[in-house]
């Protein structure tokens, strides 16, 4: 897995706004109900983000990350992947995510992301006009693929995602880069044993060939899952990653969606 159950994301830099938060149950296009967690700033900026977890699905790390975005003035919705196979209840550290991830399909994640995007665009979700996705590991690749999901996104962000085919055999980000309609930010660990430099190069080349505006950042010496409060030795990399994520959002929030 990407993060242990008790992991916490690094604290976000800068202004800290008052926020509101709630557990939600959203409904996907196929009628499936799935769990989500929303955090909203007291004063919205028109910016929103859908948080796509690692293979464990929705748990405390991603709820806290949503709070971190909300404290920056960005409305956030973190979603779960397993509504179709595990229901919508809260889960503990013993949740057998390994039984559920093989049953999770990328088209379902895209549909569930669409429900979260619709919420963010609604008055209840913050009336957001510029929406992004961010994901980690399994969710990193899923986040990049939302650029081809028809959501009208302003940009997609992925931490240590893989460019190749998904676990369900669906084409991965490198294969689908020509379908992307918004800019891409990729944040990778230079010492990630599961994603070697040639795979990072594959992603970069695919985006360049497709003419997709992109930034691919590699943190030398950083492992998979370096973006973690417990990794004090990679604190500088985590701070830089937060700043790059927020800068990417600010740079593309007012750009015309699909303008490339």
Looking at residue 161, what is its pLDDT?
A: 96
Mean pLDDT of the chain: 94
Taking the C-alpha atoms of residue 25 and residue 174, their distance in angstroms, rounded to an integer, is 32
Residue 57 has pLDDT above 70, yes or no: yes
Residue 256 has pLDDT above 60, yes or no: no
- DSSP conformational letter for 180: -
pLDDT in tens, 58-112: 999 999 999 999 999 999 999 999 999 999 999 999 999 999 999 999 999 999 9
Q: Is residue 132 part of a domain?
A: yes
Q: Is residue 259 part of a domain?
A: no
- Is 64 in a helix, a strand, or coil? helix
Kindly report the CATH number assigned to the domain that includes residue 101.
3.40.50.1820
pTM: 0.95
Q: Is residue 257 part of a domain?
A: no
Q: Is residue 167 part of a domain?
A: yes
Looking at residue 56, what is its pLDDT?
A: 94
Taking the C-alpha atoms of residue 105 and residue 166, their distance in angstroms, rounded to an integer, is 9
pLDDT (mean) for 118-143 = 96
The answer to whether residues 238 and 223 touch, using CB atoms and an 8 Å cutoff, is no
pLDDT (mean) for 156-170 = 92
Residue 45: which domain range? 19-252
**SS3 letters across 117-139:** HHHHHCHHHCCCCEEEEEEECHH
Residue 1 has pLDDT above 60, yes or no: no
Q: Is residue 1 part of a domain?
A: no
Return phi, psi of residue 171, to 5°: -55, 140
Q: How many domains does the chain have?
A: 1
pLDDT in tens, 180-210: 999 999 999 999 999 999 999 999 999 999 9
The confidence band for 260, taking pLDDT boundaries of 50, 70 and 90, is very low
């Amino acid at each position: 897995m990407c993060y242990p159950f008790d992991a916490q994301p690094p604290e976000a830099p800068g202004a800290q706004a008052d926020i509101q938060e709630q557990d939600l149950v959203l409904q996907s296009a196929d009628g499936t109900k799935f769990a989500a967690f929303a955090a909203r700033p007291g004063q919205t900026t028109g910016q929103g983000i859908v948080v796509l977890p690692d293979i464990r699905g929705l748990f405390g790390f991603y709820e806290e990350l949503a709070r971190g975005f909300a404290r920056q003035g960005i409305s956030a919705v973190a979603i779960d992947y397993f509504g179709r196979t595990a229901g919508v209840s809260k889960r503990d550290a013993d949740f057998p995510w390994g039984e559920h991830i093989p049953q999770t399909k990328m088209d379902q994640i895209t549909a569930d992301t669409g429900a979260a995007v619709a919420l963010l665009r609604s008055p209840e979700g913050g009336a957001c006009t510029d929406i992004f996705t961010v994901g980690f590991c399994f969710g990193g690749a899923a986040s990049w693929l939302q650029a081809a999901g028809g959501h009208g996104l302003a940009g997609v962000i992925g931490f240590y995602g893989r460019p190749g085919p998904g676990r369900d055999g669906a084409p991965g980000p490198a294969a689908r880069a020509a379908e992307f309609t918004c800019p891409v930010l990729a944040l990778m660990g230079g010492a990630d044993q599961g994603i070697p430099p040639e795979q990072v190069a594959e992603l970069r080349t695919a985006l360049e060939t497709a003419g997709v505006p992109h930034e691919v950042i590699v943190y030398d010496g950083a492992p998979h899952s370096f973006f973690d409060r417990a990794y004090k030795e990679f604190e500088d990399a985590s701070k830089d990653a937060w700043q790059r994520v927020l800068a990417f959002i600010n740079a593309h929030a007012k750009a015309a969606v699909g303008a490339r």
